[in-house]
Amino acid sequence: HLLTILGNYWPRDFDFSRFSHRRRYIQTEPDVKIMVDSYDPLFKPRCEIALVHGLEGSGESGYMISLSHAALNAGFAVHRFHMRTCGGTEELCQTLYHAGLTSDLISFVRQNRSRKPVFLAGFSLGGNVALKAAAEAEPGLIAGVATVAAAIDLAACSQRVGARENRMYQSRFVARMKARLERTGRYSKDLLDQCRTVYDIDDRITAPSFGFGNADRYYTEQSSLPLLARLRVPALLIAAKDDPLVPFASYRDPAITRNPNLQVIAPDHGGHIGFISRRKPRFWADRVILDWIESQLQ
């Protein structure tokens, strides 16, 4: 818990003024636009990285900021991807995001395609999206994917979030989810008041909105874990064994252990997207991801 909380609140006061920045609104479907903050390094980029945030996060989440700054200094172009209705974009579409919605991310990568390799980097729920997108995309579109604390088994993660010892996390998630849903203007106060857990929101709002029926079916159909056995691009999965929200048992599944394209780095400690080092540089996972991408480029 300590590393989870430290990782969330540790300041990321990075200066991006040296790097060119473009805020773009990308149409991915006839009635859907998503927002992407793109940055260029000081010299010709060696590759591009699309960063995908977690549940109720945005391109401004701390882990997105620190990795993007480190990547720019390493000479990589960076795209901080905001999922539907996140980051203040509720008015850009009439639908929500969900934990397995890959169409927007794949559409963006296709539209933004250049001659440079494109890597995905996903955190928590965004890690599930990134892995699922890499498995579903056509060959050659995505060069590789790196994840931190990816929620690869949605049912197991939902159950863990609902555990008694994780009440503080669940309360935070539910409050943020309700606030975003309320801003869309499409859900009644009575309905939102009935939702007291993440599972409730998924069962009564998210799943029906996308035709899944209920939360259990939604979790089963949108988890990336069953797809990892046939993932054919290199993938790095960073997961702490003491993560309070993502059960590490998921990472022992044969779909992962028997696929030579997958590499798991599993420290004993790190919490949920924590990984704060005792000494500088503080953001250990950022360095591991960039070193891995460097190895893929070589």
Span 60-89, pLDDT tens digits: 999 999 999 999 999 999 999 999 999 999
Instruction: Give Cα separations from 154 to 151, 160, 224, 289 (angstroms).
Output: 6, 10, 9, 23
Length of the chain counted residue by residue = 298
Amino acid at 298: Q
> What phi and psi values does residue 28 have, to the nearest 5 degrees?
-105, -25
pLDDT at 113: 86
d(CA 255, CA 241): 18
**Is the link from the previous residue into 281 a cis peptide, with omega within 30 of 0?**
yes
77-81/32-40 β-pairing: antiparallel
Q: Would the pLDDT of 114 be above 90?
A: no
* pLDDT band, residue 54 (cuts 50/70/90): very high
* pLDDT band, residue 115 (cuts 50/70/90): confident
| Range from 178-182, 215-219, 281-285 that averages highest in pLDDT | 215-219
pLDDT at 83: 97
d(CA 266, CA 114): 33
Overall pTM > 0.85 = yes
Amino acid at 205: I
**pLDDT tens track for 14-49:** 999 999 999 999 999 999 999 999 999 999 999 999
d(CA 34, CA 79): 12
Burial of 23 (0-12, 13-18, 19+ CB in 10 A): exposed
**pLDDT tens track for 224-266:** 999 999 999 999 999 999 999 999 999 999 999 999 999 999 9
Beta strand ranges found along 185-267 (DSSP E)? 235-238, 262-265
d(CA 241, CA 77): 31
232 Cβ contact list (under 8 Å, min separation 6):
139, 261
